Amino acid sequence: MATQSTEPSATVVWSDRFLEYTWTPEHPMKPARLDLTMALAGELGLLAGVETVRPEPAGMPDLLRVHTPEYIDAVRHAVPDSGSPGNRPSAPLFGLGSDDNPVFPGMHDAASVIVGGTLAAAREIAEGRTRRAVSIGGGMHHAMANSAAGFCIYNDAAVAISWLLDHGFDRIAYVDVDVHHGDGVQRAFYGDPRVMTVSIHQHPATLWPSTGWPDEVGAGPAEGTALNLALLPGTRDAAWLRGFHAVVPGALAAFRPQILISQCGVDTHREDPLADLELTVDGQTAAFLAMRELADRYADGRWLAVGGGGYGLVRVVPRAWTQLLATALDRPLPPETPLPEAWRERARVVAPRVEPPTVIGEGGDTRYQPWDGPGGAVETGDAQIDRARRAVDTAVLATRRAAFGLLGLDPEDPRD
User: Residues with catalytic annotation?
Assistant: 142
- The answer to whether residues 351 and 313 touch, using CB atoms and an 8 Å cutoff, is yes
Q: How many residues does the chain have?
A: 416
Backbone φ and ψ of 114, nearest 5° = -60, -45
The residues, any chain, with a CB within 8 Å of residue 338's CB and separated by 6 or more, are 358, 359, 360
> DSSP 3-state assignment of 338?
strand
Q: What distance in Å separates the CA atoms of residue 133 and residue 125, rounded to the nearest whole number?
A: 7
- Whether the Cβ atoms of residue 112 and residue 133 lie closer than 8 Å to each other: no
Specify the amino acid at residue 300: D
Q: Of all helices (H) and strands (E), which one includes residue 197?
A: strand 195-202
Q: Are 250 and 198 in contact (CB under 8 A)?
A: no
> Which among 42, 52, 54, 35 has a CA at the least distance from the CA of 4?
42
Q: Are 156 and 114 in contact (CB under 8 A)?
A: yes
> Which residues, 6+ apart, have CB-to-CB distance to 50 below 8 Å?
8, 10, 11, 12, 329
Q: Please state, in angstroms and rounded to a whole number, the distance separating the CA atoms of residues 269 and 278.
A: 5
β-strands 259-263, 226-231 pairing: unpaired
3-class secondary-structure state, position 175: strand
Q: Quick check: helix, strand or coil at residue 199?
A: strand
Which of these, 105, 131, 110, 11, lies nearest to 58 by C-alpha position? 110
Helix (H/G/I), strand (E/B), else coil: 213? coil
Query: What's the distance, CA 69 to chain centroid?
Result: 27
Report the C-alpha gap between 25 and 94 in whole angstroms: 22
Side-chain-facing half-sphere of 312: CA atoms under 13 Å = 23
Between CA 225 and CA 192 the distance in angstroms is 8
Distance CA 393, CA 210 (A): 21
